Amino acid sequence: MEKVVAAYFFPNEIKTALFALDKSLIFDNGFYAKAAAFMAKKEIGLKYLSWLHEQCSLKENIRSLKAYYFSVFFLDNVAEEYKAAQLPEPPEPKTPPPSVICEACGEAHARSDDKCPCCGLPEYSPPDQISLYRELHKLPDKRGEYFHRQTAVYEECGFNLDKLSSSLAALNQEYGLTVCR
What is the pLDDT, as a whole number, of residue 17? 94
Point out the domain boundary residue: 85, 108, 128.
85
Residue 76 sits in the same domain as residue 127: no
**pTM reported for the whole predicted model:** 0.49
**More confident site: 149 or 91:** 149
| Residues above pLDDT 70, as percent of the chain | 94
Residue 108, H or E segment: strand 108-110
Find the domain containing 36 and state its range.
11-85
Q: What's the whole-number mean pLDDT along residues 37-46?
A: 93
Q: What's the whole-number mean pLDDT along residues 161-180?
A: 87
* Within a domain: 95: no
* Within a domain: 91: no
User: Is residue 30 scored above 80 in pLDDT?
Assistant: yes
The residue among 56, 60, 48, 61 whose CA lies nearest residue 18 is 48
Residue 101, H or E segment: strand 99-101
* Within a domain: 93: no
Phi-psi region of 88 (alpha: psi -120 to 50; beta: other; left: phi over 0): beta
* Within a domain: 167: yes
Q: What SS3 state is found at 168?
A: helix
Residue 123 sits in the same domain as residue 181: yes
Residue 80 sits in the same domain as residue 135: no
